[in-house]
Structure 1
Amino acid sequence: MSSTDSASHDYWLPGYGLSRQIVLRQIQYHLGPTATVRPYSYHGREGYLINGRELTKEQIDDLKRQSKEYERQQTIRMAGRPIASTDAAEPDINEPIVVTINGRRSSPSYSSYSPYQRYR
């Protein structure tokens, strides 16, 4: 291993597929207690500015896997379903969640509403 491999320096990591919560919590696990990370935009793209050793491909893949699981659990929690399920099928992470606005549940059908209807 060369001396530059273990040297600490600043670098930008693209944020695609990485949960902010996971990256901020896990960076020191992967890079040691002196590593720092903060959200950072580089050329208009969101990501993280890291000071420490460079993450390996395996470490980035681990962060992505943890991020996917974290987001799945947050989606299930927000939908009000138990996290531990006995169903064989996994819920879709992008499953729509019904939102209540001003005490009313929005109608699931948009076909009956047209913004161009004339008032009588």
Structure 2
Amino acid sequence: MSSSAMNKYWIPHLDIHKKVITQELQYYLGPEATVRPFTREGEDGFLITTPGPCLTDEQIDDICVKSKEMWERQAAARASSGSEKPLKRPLHRPVVISKAGSGGGSSGSSRRRKDDRWRSDDRDRRRA
């Protein structure tokens, strides 16, 4: 069916999990129906494109129930995996490079100046 004959409907995202509506939409509206995130007048939701009518109230209620179940499963999975999986924070431990007043900061800046002189000398040699 051509896209000009398709109907477009917007529904708010409230209580609807994107994965659930994506999985369920074609079951309710047929294989040509599509859904994508869409913002209408500043409110996030879903744009449904279908050759027929949009979802009924009962179908939207069913999607909301399945969405709630999905969020509960995800929360339970996060809670159970959190106790088994160690934090990665030891990998992100800060390493002191220099501290103010320790004298370490000036040697780093003088080294940088020496490197800059070397680079400029090298550039001059290449030009010649």
TM-score range, shorter chain: 0.5 to 0.7
Alignment partner of 1:65 is 2:65: yes
Bigger Cα Rg:
2
How far off its partner does 1:44 sit? 1.0
How far off its partner does 1:67 sit? 0.1
Change (3 A) 1:100 1:44: farther
Q: Distance in 2 between matches of 1:39 and 1:19?
A: 11
For residues 40-119 of structure 1, what are the structure 2 equivalents within 5 Å? 40-52=38-50, 53-80=53-80, 100=87, 102-103=89-90
How far off its partner does 1:32 sit? 0.7
Match of 1:109 in 2: none
Name the structure with the higher helix share.
Answer: 2
Match of 2:25 in 1: 27
Question: Structure 2-normalised TM-score?
Answer: 0.58
- SS across alignment from 1:16: coil
Give the letter for the 2:16 counterpart. L
The number of residues matched between the two structures is 83
- SS across alignment from 1:39: strand
Deviations 1:21-48 (A, max 9, x none): 1011111011111101101111111110
Name the structure with the higher strand share.
Answer: 1
Identity level (%): 37
Q: Distance in 2 between matches of 1:101 and 1:48?
A: 36
Q: Distance in 1 between matches of 2:33 and 2:79?
A: 35
